[in-house]
Structure 1
């Protein structure tokens, strides 16, 4: 394997310029402004102290920057992965904070190993087996669970982390009389401020005609403004004492100490499944965001390379003593719109977070947890896609059912079971669709050489000739469905004397299909019907000639075109 393939950054640096460096530096600064408050918020979502969200954005981000194939992807703390971590650890019932963190580190370590193992087996195409409706149902339900988990910060009611959706709502409901109305007011005000900064504030900034880099930096600094304003107000008015508003408190300055993850087979057995699901969702969400952003640059990302980069990033998280991570949709979009040209922008972001840990942590002592809760809620609100249900219902009801099944299962039974059901549902849909190919009886369009579905077009058909087009390769899972369709069509048209199977869309037949086609010849003879083929592709013809089918077909023929077959047979 060439070094250029392992380190995509090396290829980008060949054409790197001062302009590129400037753009990357500006994008990195802007990404840092978003990363710091979001990282702390997602750390609390994962159930660990706020500083661990910043640890997530240093070594892991640097590792991804070296190995990643996406120029714009921002890898670090992510809401979806954080709630999966909290849910997985909650099921283990840790007794102390140290035990909780120990579980989190081991989950990120196993997730990294799973991703790298998937890379070794070149499983980058695994996302093809998880449909977008399933991902949409999963992310929508997860976003609702995330929102519910943060309501405790908004209303000031102490609720344990890692509870299920219904347990969280039950805890909030039973303690409804304990709402801290000052905290609630601060939460509503924070949500409104974040909404304003995201949707309306950038329009106001544009009117100032500032330089582009400064315009974008200020426009994206909404969460940081809210964080600093909240901290100042709490500190000046002592709201953490007078109004009992919970604060972050002391954040240790300095960098995380690197550590080795000790082998604990018993623990790894208990967290293997959730770790694999976290690794899978890390890859699915990251590759989805990365592909979307790469498409805007008319570029492609390497799925297998992403497995390696994300695996290394999660191992970096484990060695940094923090929790699992993935790409963030919101930060990646910011990184892209800020003009990031290479992953050096991510390196600048990692450096910015490092400087924050070294020098700026005292600023966050009075940071109210309600503000971090509001940041999480506003960040995940865009993931709730109820409109997808209506869209899928119009386009394909099976997709709508799979979306709803995943959505409901995640809410009722939890994230791990929900994603398993979604994946199994996707595989079942693939099998069902593969075993039920589209098949059409066709007729001639006027006097042309074109043939179309008789149910969709006004076409001419001969009562003695039945032309059937099979729009799928034929193999063991669908050959019975095709045979049933063909004979049912013959039974409905007793005057049929010739059946022409049009193979224009058939690229492959397996042994089971060849045997079934051979058996169909004898069944047709019993009905006094002759079987013919048309438009058989070369590879399929080779397979048929290597069997007894061609000789058994006689006096049936294999015609070069459907037009030739119909002209020949309608004159008989």
Structure 2
């Protein structure tokens, strides 16, 4: 089977693993996943401002395409909380939630996000996900959890809140309307919430969200029957059919108004999918291709937009349950989608009895589970820089436009990465011992008080030299040259994986400055690929081939001949063999 064919149809690589045992395991895992996603799909569509059935349509279509064209054996795609609230925030600024125009724009947004993701995959941009800090994702999801919970308070309290209210204004309206609290709706929501929590605690493998919704619906039925409550709003009957064909709005005005928001959703979806697939892969010992995941997520969103599905991504809950249920291949995600189709056809009419307050209780629990308390506590305890990033992303999610919060989070990740790599460790080394064969052992002088040569300073750069780090490295060289009056500097380059053009120019400048003072810049232990690249860029020629060495012994032996003999004659350090 050719690599080209496998890259085009990645499911061919795992389809050969399917046998009787894997089919049985995947069927069981798929059935479990279908039961789990049923209440989640309805809840997530509600968060997104869409009719409930659109969450189920997404859970039917997205997993199949993502499983066929992704790389993870256990990732289950579909509607997610974070993307749902970004969809709601984005489109509710243009049209009323739940309206046909809202649905049409949501499908267009989904298609555009898929195009971005697919293009990123083809361009091999999978490595970019590595530069988005996990702290940013934690901060964003925590903020999204607060927004999701806030959006449901009007449904469980009965307090009127105008559409489109901001986070702060919503809480002001709740406080002012507290006297109009509907106790019946509150009881239904809390009963749903508590029953779901208790079933999860005492029967972990039970479909706790589904059970909670059933209990809330039964309670609402009896409250209405015995006239203990009146006018309890219901979700309404979900159409008992498979995802219908749909057509996104491809008008220029719609595309131009949604292009930037679609880019934010594409980024968020990719971060979620790749992070989740890698987390599960650490347990299953599977290798994940980020680029292939980009392609899979992009195709699922593009294809899904024509089958009444809105933007989705990988689900941590469903993917974790899929793995724990014993899934062996991506067929489990496909089976989950197929089982969900059967379940919807059978029980969809029952949603007519589902109270919106019960749905609100379920969504409150979903929002709570989004907050990663453990990692937040660790961040606050161990890292001040990441704590500031967490707080900034969290507050931006609450008080700014959600797509801007995503961009800000990505920008903060890049700033954090550049900040860490722009100040590489540059320890000063000296000779610790010389064995019988003349081999020299270098040791960091901060670990042991070693004598140092008054004319030669040995340093090690523990990171690549590029435009972001060169200023820090230049300051170190200047400090040695100007502050210590030492103009011969040997760089142990075994930790350098790359030197860019800016780094080359700066090092050439430093070498020329040291040469004017009778010294020079020397390198030992450069990796072969780095040396080859530097040679092609004429860096070796500009510095001088005589300043590059394969061994420390050869480097010291050569540099010694260039030292000032008058200084050597009065030196009492004599740490090199050549000094004796």
Distance change >3 Å, CA 52–CA 173, structure 1 → 2:
same
Inter-partner Cα distance in structure 2 for 1:304 and 1:21:
27
Q: Secondary structure at the match of 1:450?
A: strand
Task: Confirm or deny: 8 A CA contact 2:525 2:551 kept in the other structure.
Answer: yes
**Contact 1:87 1:163 (8 Å CA) reproduced:** no
2:138–2:376 Cα contact (<8 Å) kept: no
Partners of 1:332 and 1:83 lie apart in 2 by 20
Q: 2:80 aligns with which of 78, 81, 88?
A: 78
Question: How much does 1:258 deviate?
Answer: 0.6
Matches within 5 A, 1:286-301: 286-301=273-288
1:505 alignment partner in structure 2: 495
Alignment of 1:105-144 (within 5 A): 105-144=107-146
Alignment of 1:10-21 (within 5 A): 10-21=12-23
Partners of 1:193 and 1:226 within 8 A in 2: yes
Q: Secondary structure at the match of 2:305?
A: helix
2:45 counterpart (43, 46, 62): 43
Q: CA deviation at 1:525?
A: 3.9
Q: Does 1:482 align with 2:473?
A: yes
Maintained 8 Å contact 1:79/1:376: no
User: What SS class does the counterpart of residue 467 from structure 1 fall into?
Assistant: strand
| 1:42, distance to aligned residue in structure 2 (A) | 0.8
Q: Report how far residue 122 of structure 1 moved.
A: 2.2
Match of 1:406 in 2: 393
1:43-442 equivalences under 5 Å are 43-94=45-96, 97-159=99-161, 163-202=165-204, 219-238=205-224, 242-243=228-229, 244-392=231-379, 395-442=382-429
Match of 1:463 in 2: 454
Q: Does structure 1 conserve the Cα–Cα contact (< 8 Å) formed by 2:189 and 2:359? A: no
Give the match for residue 561 of structure 1: 551
| CA displacement at 1:171 relative to structure 2 | 2.9
Contact 1:530 1:556 in 2 (8 A): no
The answer on whether the counterparts of 2:189 and 2:216 sit within 8 Å (CA) in structure 1 is: no
Q: Is the 8 A contact 1:498 1:531 kept in 2?
A: yes
SS at match of 1:442: strand
Aligned position for 1:452: 443
Q: 2:527 is matched with which residue: 537, 548, 552?
A: 537
Instruction: Report what 2:514 is aligned to.
Output: 524
- Tell me by how many angstroms 1:301 deviates: 2.2
Residue 47 (structure 1) shift? 0.9
Q: Classify 1:21/1:160 alpha carbon distance in 2 versus 1 (closer, same or farther; 3 Å).
A: farther
Q: Displacement, 1:247?
A: 1.7
Counterparts in 2 of 1:452 and 1:143: CA distance versus 1, 3 Å? farther
Aligned equivalents of 1:543, 1:67: Cα separation in 2: 36
CA offset digits 1:70-108 (Å, max 9, x no partner): 222221111111111111012224387122212212111
Confirm or deny: 8 A CA contact 1:90 1:162 kept in the other structure. yes
Q: Structure 1 349/545 Cα, relative in aligned 2: closer, same or farther at 3 Å? A: closer
For 1:511 and 1:359, how far apart are their aligned partners in 2?
Answer: 65
Aligned-partner Cα distance in 2 for 1:2–1:240: 67
Aligned in 2, Cα 1:239/1:135: closer, same or farther, shift over 3 Å?
farther
Give the TM-score normalised by the residue count of structure 2. 0.88
Number of aligned residue pairs: give it. Answer: 555
Structure 1 position 480, deviation (Å): 3.2
Once the two structures are TM-superposed, the CA of residue 152 in structure 1 deviates from its matched residue by 2.3
Q: Is the 8 A contact 1:506 1:536 kept in 2?
A: yes
SS at match of 1:439: coil
User: Using the alignment, how far apart are the partners of 2:226 and 2:173 within structure 1?
Assistant: 23
C-alpha deviation, 1:160, in angstroms? 5.3
Q: CA deviation at 1:421?
A: 0.9
Could you give the per-residue CA deviations for residues 363-391 of structure 1, whole angstroms, max 9, x where no partner exists?
22111222222222222323223553553
Give deviations 1:4-24, integer Å, cap 9, x for gaps.
333333333323222211111
Distance across 2 between alignment mates of 1:19 and 1:522? 69
Instruction: Determine the structure 2 residue equivalent to 1:29.
Output: 31
CA 1:262/1:510 → structure 2, altered by over 3 Å: closer, same or farther? closer
Q: How far 1:462 sits from its partner (Å)?
A: 2.8
User: Aligned pair in 2 of structure 1 residues 28, 499: CA closer, same or farther (>3 Å)?
Assistant: same
Q: Displacement of 1:550 after TM fit? A: 5.9
Is residue 153–residue 373 contact of structure 1 (8 Å, CA) maintained in 2?
yes
**Matched residue, 2:569:** none
Using a 3 Å threshold, how does the CA distance of structure 1 residues 199 and 545 change in structure 2: closer, same or farther? same
TM-score, length-scaled by structure 1: 0.89
CA contact (8 A) 2:196 2:211 kept: no
The answer to which of 552-561 and 114-123 deviates more is: 552-561
